[in-house]
Amino acid sequence: MNKGMSEIVKTISKIVTPFVIIFGISVIFYGHLTPGGGFPGGVIISACFVLLLLAYGKEKVLLKLSLYKSDILHNLGAIMFLSVALIGFLGGVFFLNIFDKGKLFSLWSGGNLLFSNISIGLKVGTSLFLGIVLLSMARVVYKENKIEFFEKEEDIK
């Protein structure tokens, strides 16, 4: 049984995927120096998984990044961002940038901006993927002139 799109789409998306993910990670890490940041980088990463979803069908993608794993990762991203803010309490004020600022135009030059970008990227990437996969799970099927609604329980676990 051949699920998903045609062989051309599958091959091309297989070749493109690693580059897209690396580009997304670079957008996240250099968010404080170049255009981009946690949100655009996260969207790029989740778009890559959506590309795989379209090309191969959701069973293959959920093997790579299961719903359980992405659920945990997006909550972890939120807690990471909150803890970046809470670290500021060590200096006395919420969200205080207590890290060493480093040299301008190098990767380590924004203090806690790097950590907040990473956590936002984690949160946005996984939760956007989660939203699209969950929306795609509900499907409506016409069966003997009757509309039926399917939502696979085993997919969610």
Partner 1 sequence: MNLIISPVILYLLSAFLIALLWKEYEKLSGIACLSFSILSLISVILLGKYVFLNERIVYYVGGWEIPIGITLMVDALSYIFLFVLNFILPLICWFSLSYMEKYTKAGYFYVLFSLISAGLNGILISMDFFNIYVFLEISSIASYILVAFGLRTEELEASLKYTILGFIGSTIILIAIGLIFGKTGTLNIADFTYIAKNINEIQLWFIIGFFISGFALKTALFPFHFWLPDAHSLAPSPVSAILSGLFIKVTGFYLLLRIITNIFTMFPESKIIILGLGLISMIFGSLMALDQTDIKRTYAYSSISQIGYCALALGIGGYYGYLGAILHFIFHSFSKSLLFLNSGAIEYRYKTTKIDELKGLQDKMPYTTMTASSGMLSISGVPPFGCFWSKIIIIISAIKAHYFGIAFICVVVSIITLGYFLKLQRNIFYSKDEFKTINEVNYNLLMPMIILSILISLSGLIFLPNLKIYIDKAVNVMENFKYAQIMEK
Partner 2 sequence: MIIFIAIAIMFFVGIYGMMVKKNIIKMIIGLNIVGYAVNLFFIALGYKEDGIAPIIIPGMEIKEFVEKSVNPLPQALVLTSIVIDLSVICFLAALSIRIYEKYGSFDLEKIRRLKG
Closest CA to 70 of 88, 90, 99, 50: 50
The span of 3-11, 30-38, 48-56, 74-82 binding partner 2 (CB under 8 A) equals 30-38
Residue 10 Cα distances to 19, 20, 23, 44, 48, angstroms:
15, 15, 20, 19, 13
Residue keyed to tokens 């890490």: 29
Q: Does 39 bind partner 2 (CB under 8 A)?
A: yes
Query: Segment near partner 2 (CB under 8 A), from 48-56, 81-89, 111-119, 135-143?
Result: 135-143
Task: Based on the shown chain and the rule CB under 8 A, indicate whether residue 140 belongs to the binding site for partner 2.
Answer: yes
Question: Taking CB under 8 A as the criterion, which residues in 72-111 touch partner 2?
Answer: 105
Is residue 38 within 8 A of residue 25, CB to CB? The reply is: no
Please identify, among the stretches 10-18, 55-63, 66-74, 133-141, the one whose residues bind partner 2 according to the rule CB under 8 A: 133-141
**Residue 47 to residue 154: CA distance in whole angstroms:** 24
* Beta pairing, strands 146-150 & 139-143: antiparallel
Nearest residue (CB) to partner 1, 52 versus 124: 124
Residue 75 engages partner 1 in binding (rule: CB under 8 A): yes
Q: Is residue 97 a contact residue for partner 1 (CB under 8 A)?
A: yes
What does the binding site for partner 1 look like in residue numbers (CB under 8 A)?
72, 75-76, 78-79, 82, 85-86, 88-89, 91-97
